[in-house]
Chain A
Amino acid sequence: DVKVTQSSRYLVKRTGEKVFLECVQDMDHENMFWYRQDPGLGLRLIYFSYDVKMKEKGDIPEGYSVSREKKERFSLILESASTNQTSMYLCASSYQDRTYEQYFGPGTRLTVT
């Protein structure tokens, strides 16, 4: 079974803090994705990566950055957390030629106070 794990299920941070969300997949997938999930808005793509050290902006990259130093690991960084970044963050991965079949982690619920 494909497994996508995220470093925390729940996280509470203060405004202005630097926040790291980690994601690890064990299926040697080329693609990895970060989404945020908000009620009534569904999933919105923040960033994705199609290879080590390669990244592309998604629909809402402002206020976020990412890092992919190893194939299995994809990190989302909030340089200076703000209250409007309170959300559920979902990581996903897929094979390069099957982007539609994404495997998701359980999510990290981040609260910024």
Chain B
Amino acid sequence: GDSVTQMEGPVTLSEEAFLTINCTYTATGYPSLFWYVQYPGEGLQLLLKATKADDKGSNKGFEATYRKETTSFHLEKGSVQVSDSAVYFCALSHPGYNKLIFGAGTRLAVHP
């Protein structure tokens, strides 16, 4: 079945450092890919998405590119802030399918 694998956390960075959180997937066909973020004490919220190969999703300084050849969707940010501290979930879904499949989540801690 379909699955999503994320790098284990926690990832600990200093403010203004470069961030990469790795995500790879296994799926049949051509899924859409997503990053969700969960800030402390809150529910998840959609951060960005990409619906086809080579698409780049971006939001709030975060970016991820849908790489079909490597089945990856790595999340990047050039300069993290303390306020980016959260848990990040990679997910996939097939169009018309009532289901999101989530990775295990990666906790990011940014210190001043």
Which A residues fall within an 8 A CB radius of B? 4, 31, 40-45, 48, 50, 56, 58, 90, 92, 99-107
Contacts and interface: CB of A to CB of B under 8 A. Distances in A.
Interface residues of B, number: 22
A56 B34 CA distance: 23
Contacts of A107: 43
A100 B45 CA distance: 11
Given A50-B98, A99-B100, A100-B32, A92 B105 contact: no
Contacts of B34: 100
Contacts of B100: 43, 45, 99-100, 102
Contact of B44 (A31, A45, A90): A90
Chain A interface, DSSP helix/strand/loop, else mixed:
strand
Contact of A43 (B41, B46, B49, B89): B89
B69 interface: no
Nearest to A106: B43
21 contacts: A4-B43, A40-B104, A42-B4, A43-B44, A43-B102, A45-B100, A56-B98, A58-B99, A99-B93, A99-B98, A99-B100, A100-B32, A100-B46, A100-B91, A100-B100, A101-B46, A102-B46, A103-B45, A104-B44, A104-B45, A107-B43
A73 to B, nearest CB: 17
A58 B98 CA distance: 10
B41 to A, nearest CB: 7
Nearest to B105: A42
**Shortest 8 CB-CB distances between A and B: which pairs?**
A104-B43, A42-B104, A42-B102, A43-B102, A104-B44, A100-B93, A105-B43, A106-B43
Given A4-B43, A100-B34, A100-B93, A41 B98 contact: no
A50 to B, nearest CB: 6
B55 to A, nearest CB: 13
